[in-house]
Structure 1
Amino acid sequence: MQFEPGDRRRRLPRHLRSPTPDVDTFSFSIRPVRAGDLPDIREIYNHYVANSVVTFDEKRSTHRLWREKFAMLSKLALPFLVAVSASGQVIGYALVQPWASKSAYRYTVEDSIYLGPGAGGKGLGSALLDALIVACERRGLREIVAVISDSSAEASIRLHERAGFVEVGRMGRVGFKFGRSLGTIYLQKSLTPQMRRRLFRSGRG
């Protein structure tokens, strides 16, 4: 999980590499994702796959994978948000997905936040995470977990701690990428659900 941009922009499409306005003119809006946003989201994520250890994925994600994720999160009515610039360009996204498949975990989710190049350090990460937390509480969720790499993700840890997440555990050497072992840090935040309903179930049980 990561919200700061990398430093190798040449892998991204030109419109995602465009210079970002100065801080005093930087503006954005946050809204629910649309199907048309998925290509830009895929390119932002794949930038981190290819150039960082903030995600443990080693293969670039496909359009099909993102279409399936979009459909799955839509079916579960789980928050999936994008940040767009004044010109309508997707410059970041945030989502939650089920923490685990067993039904007893149905009120717990894991978050994921990524920003595009030039979008870090301007309050966008905090705005996305705050909006995501509010959306989760409105959805009736109770716990949100962040799983963060123990290497090169200090900014992401600080972001979550500012939002009220607390570290609840670590695992060492569970990943291996770019020729080195990596661990994970687990942070958790308890939410205040604004509604009660059964989640992630189909049929009668």
Structure 2
Amino acid sequence: MPPPSLLIRPSTPADLPAITAIYGWNVLNGTGTFELEAPDEADMARRRDDVLAKGLPWLVAERDGQLLGYAYANHFRPRRAYRFCLEDSIYLSADAAGQGIGRLLLAELMAQCEARGARQMLAVIGDSANTASIAVHRALGFEASGLIKSAGWKFGRWLDVVLMQRELGLGDGTAPADAG
């Protein structure tokens, strides 16, 4: 019997309960996010709607009807000059770690962002001990671009923020089409 196939697809409103559960688990158990309280489904719906309203992707990874993770891109900062620079976010369910799902989500997210005209993708990784996220980003061509020491306090300890960056498409080699 062949192994179950993984589907990477755009998220839908029907995915929100699973997205909320995945993120909630990461908030309560991980250092990849510096949030301390898990948001409810309505808050996650608002966050997703905000990303989609900007024309940016919010993807999910699904296997046999079970959501295993999600990824989305958002503008690094809200000012218009940052519109070609996006930040990725990737979260997996507890039982999806170590299966390559994060890498597949990130690769598809990068491709979709590049197709939308993005020129830079940033990873703002919570916790310098988050070696899995750092390795996934490095494997897809991200390079270290900075470290913010002791930026957050969670689980009784200081956490660093690791900054990584990768050019998309033409990068900074040419002006974007709507540079005006």
Question: What's the counterpart of residue 51 of structure 1?
Answer: 29
Aligned partner of 1:81 in structure 2 is 59
CA contact (8 A) 1:54 1:151 kept: no
Q: Which residue of 1 aligns with 2:141?
A: 164
Give the Cα–Cα distance (whole angstroms) in 2 for the partners of residues 77 and 151 of structure 1: 31
8 Å contact from structure 1 (residues 31, 81) kept in 2? yes
Alignment of 1:106-185 (within 5 A): 106-185=83-162
* CA distance in 2 between partners of 1:32 and 1:173 (Å): 35
Deviations 1:159-182 (A, max 9, x none): 000000000000101111111111
Stretches of structure 1 that go unaligned for 5 or more consecutive residues are 1-23, 200-204
Give the 3-state SS of the residue equivalent to 2:96 in structure 1.
Answer: coil
Please report the TM-score for the alignment, with normalisation by the length of structure 1: 0.80
Identical residues among aligned pairs (%): 38
Q: Give the partner amino acid of 1:43.
A: A
Alpha-carbon distance in 2 for matches of 1:150, 1:56: 9
Structure 1: 4+ residue segments shifted above 6 A: none
Q: Which residue of 1 aligns with 2:173?
A: none
Give deviations 1:175-202, integer Å, cap 9, x for gaps. 1111111111100000006xx6549xxx
Cα distance in 2 for residues equivalent to 1:198 and 1:62: 37
The whole-number CA distance in structure 2 between the counterparts of 1:117 and 1:150 is: 18
Aligned-partner Cα distance in 2 for 1:151–1:26: 33
1:6 matched residue in structure 2 = none
Is 1:72 aligned to 2:78, yes or no? no
Tell me, in whole angstroms, the C-alpha distance in 1 between the residues paired with 2:116 and 2:104: 18
Aligned residues: 175
The one-letter code sitting in structure 1 at the alignment partner of 2:93 is: G
Structure with higher strand content: 2
The DSSP-based 3-state class of the residue aligned with 2:95 is coil
Deviations 1:94-145 (A, max 9, x none): 1001100111001111100111122122221111111011001111101010
Q: Match of 1:118, SS?
A: helix
Q: Residue 17 of structure 2: which of 39, 54, 58 is its match?
A: 39
Conserved? CA contact 1:109–1:145, under 8 Å: yes
Deviation at 1:72, TM superposition (A): 1.1
